[in-house]
Structure 1
Amino acid sequence: MRKAVLFIISLTLSTIAFGQINQNQNLTNNWRFGGGLGLSFGNDSYFGFNISPSIGYMVSTNLEVGGIAGYQHLSNNYYKRNLFNVGPYINFFPIENIFVRANYVYYTGKETYRTKNLQYETISESYNVEESALWLGAGYQTSGPIKFQVGAMYNVLYKDNDTGIFSSGFQPFMGVSVGL
């Protein structure tokens, strides 16, 4: 619930900030800049932060190609993860505001687990992380120079009972983009 409230506040603030853009500007520019931002809090001093800027180019009226890069930090009393990711995406618009997305992402970083032994000493074990994901999904995008996106994707490389970085193959997404 907190994630949703923080996301809605972020979207509202970005809408107000970009509301100052001249509405008579040339909308034929095909470049788009956008992405997502997230914060989360929880039990056991849980804190999460992620940022994922993106840049895309409208090749035609119904095809956008681009790239995404990102950073994610998760931590609590027992665990810490820092991940970087990068990858290309393709959005195809069969209907004006509805799109189908394919997004390959490569993740790399480090996970650290903290435990206490019988003498109550803290023991840390760190592991390097590398994983690939191929996200396929669909979503809705608003019209105008500032576009809000919402949708869902599934990682077709996800395997149940795998020790990878994902607890599920399903991932909802929300974001905003602005014409450059």
Structure 2
Amino acid sequence: MKSIILTFLTKFYSLLFFLFVSNLVFSQEQPQETNFWQKVRFGGGVGLGFGNDYFSGTLAPGAIYNFNEMFAAGLGVQVSYTDQKHFYTSTIYGASVIGLFNPIEQIQLSLEVEQLRVNREYELYNTATASFKDNFWATALFVGAGYRTQNVTFGARYNLLQDNSKNIYSNGFMPFVRVYF
């Protein structure tokens, strides 16, 4: 019995000694710190349109966090203003949350929820008294797919909530170019 206990203690202390020595050897290396900001990428969109008595401008910055090579998620904001003199004015602002999945490097799948506040005003041409105001919240749920090359993705997305009567998009299907640096 005494030899069994002695064998056990010898092996136990040998294991402790090995763990202690290996810890000293590996502790000399600097640990790799994961910096949050190294995994964040910024991007967004800018839109500008103008014509005869017409102006439209959009600014939509965004940021994503890369969890790994396959998964990323992020936030975006959007501000848009449109003015067609003597007929229509709108101000749209809101935010979105996006999830990205890259099953392979060139393919990007996305799911995005967008919540926008829409303020529109219509006025009849040459009448100061006839006007119509429409203010509402618009929600969109987009599923998308695209071809990705480095920082740019070309693709299309579809709004699953397109049939909602309070919608600002004329069509559920939309092409996109997504850029994150």
Q: Could you say which structure has the higher strand fraction? A: 1
1:133 equivalent to 2:140? Answer yes
1:62 corresponds in structure 2 to 70
Tell me how many residue pairs correspond in the alignment: 145
Whether the aligned pair in 2 keeps the contact of 1:116 and 1:122 (CA below 8 Å) is no
Larger Rg: 2
Output the amino acid matched with 1:54.
G
Moved more, 59-68 or 168-177: 168-177
Structure 2 unaligned spans of 5+: 1-36
1:164 equivalent to 2:158? Answer no
**Residues 81, 55 of structure 1: CA spacing in aligned structure 2 closer, same or farther, 3 A cutoff?**
same
Identity within the alignment, %: 31
2:121 corresponds in structure 1 to 112
**Counterparts of 2:136 and 2:51, CA distance in 1:** 24
- RMSD (Å), alpha carbons: 2.1
**Counterparts of 1:131 and 1:171, CA distance in 2:** 16
Query: TM-score scaled by structure 1?
Result: 0.73
Query: TM-score scaled by structure 2?
Result: 0.73
Moved over 4 A (4+): none
Indicate the structure whose relative CO is greater, using CA pairs within 8 Å and at least 6 residues apart. Answer: 1
Whether the aligned pair in 1 keeps the contact of 2:119 and 2:136 (CA below 8 Å) is yes
Residue correspondence of structure 1 range 23-102 to structure 2 within 5 A:
29-43=38-52, 45-77=53-85, 78-102=87-111
Structure 1 unaligned spans of 5+: 1-27
**Residues 114, 62 of structure 1: CA spacing in aligned structure 2 closer, same or farther, 3 A cutoff?**
same
Secondary structure of 1:33 counterpart: strand
